[in-house]
Amino acid sequence: MPISSRVELNLIVNENNKQPFTLFDDVSGIAFENNVANTASLASSATGIDQQPVTLKRAENGLLYPTNISKNTSSNLSVSKDLTPITKAQTGPN
């Protein structure tokens, strides 16, 4: 069982409107704060997950960013558009 754990400042998007995760155990030791999800959250974790529509747009760096969330919230939930993703070939041994 998790103790004193936090899940915060996450953007949770699921394209098929189903639950993005399932809980099989006691998660009372996890605090959810300042998260945004486009689907309804499980009752046990609903506090700290704000459900709202989320529209994503691909930026020049190839990553998807939310376009319809307030700028202040969006900047807290996404990485800088200056980020340059690397390919698997640019990492260590396979």
Give pLDDT tens digits for 14-43.
888 777 777 788 888 888 888 888 888 765
For the stretch 51-63, pLDDT in tens is 888 999 999 999 9
User: What is the pLDDT at residue 46?
Assistant: 66
Closest CA to 33 of 47, 14, 52: 47
Query: Structurally, how many domains does the chain consist of?
Result: 1
94 domain-assigned: no
For the stretch 77-87, pLDDT in tens is 878 889 999 98
Give the whole-angstrom CA distance, residue 18 versus residue 41: 10
User: pTM for this structure?
Assistant: 0.75
What range does the domain containing 54 cover? 5-73
Give the whole-angstrom CA distance, residue 7 versus residue 49: 10
